[in-house]
């Protein structure tokens, strides 16, 4: 019985530490050269349609169809996937979104070899519509 109690305590503590780790995520530092970048594409209906298509292909499985971080692969990933409709997300500079989305880190893959910079900018334009 004593062993069972000890195992239960270890399990509860382990779960608590795992949960805490999932909630606390190291700050994502964006280099100054990216922070100052502006989106080079126009927000017209053609580009937004392309952006939606690119988002569906590259982002939706993790970030979800509406950008809430609830995609089909989200549960298997560590850290906060963000809520693209939130003020916190939408207040980031174009360059910060570009850096985080294109360069990536940890579970966020690098897209430099998967899509062009212009396509990433078009995708970011579409992501901006999620805050409206």
The residue segments making up the domain with residue 34 are 28-131
The pair of three-digit structure tokens given for residue 52, joined into one six-digit string: 């939606």
Q: What is the CATH number of the domain that holds 43?
A: 1.10.760.10
**pLDDT one-digit tens code per residue, 98-125:** 999 999 999 999 999 999 999 999 999 9
Is 11 inside any structural domain? no
How many domains are there within the chain? 1
Cα distances from 114 to residues 1, 9, 58, in angstroms, run: 55, 46, 9
Is 37 inside any structural domain? yes
Least confident of 20-29, 65-74, 104-113: 20-29
- Average predicted confidence (pLDDT) for the chain: 88
Is 34 inside any structural domain? yes
Is 99 inside any structural domain? yes
Q: What is the DSSP string of 43-103?
A: --HHHHHHHHHHHHHHTHHHH-TTSSS--TTGGGS-S----TTSHHHHTS-HHHHHIIIII
Tell me the pTM: 0.80
Is 10 inside any structural domain? no
């Amino acid at each position: 019985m004593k062993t069972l109690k000890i195992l239960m305590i270890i399990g509860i503590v382990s779960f608590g530490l795992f949960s805490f780790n999932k909630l606390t995520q190291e700050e994502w530092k964006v280099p100054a050269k990216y922070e100052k970048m502006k989106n080079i594409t126009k927000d017209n209906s053609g580009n937004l349609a392309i952006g939606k298509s690119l988002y569906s292909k590259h982002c939706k499985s993790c970030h979800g169809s509406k950008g809430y971080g609830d995609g089909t692969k989200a549960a298997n990933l560590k850290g906060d996937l963000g809520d693209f409709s939130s003020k916190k997300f939408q207040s980031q500079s174009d360059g910060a979104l570009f850096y985080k989305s294109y360069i990536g880190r940890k579970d966020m893959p690098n897209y430099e070899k998967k899509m062009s910079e212009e396509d990433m900018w078009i995708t970011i334009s579409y992501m901006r519509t999620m805050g409206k």
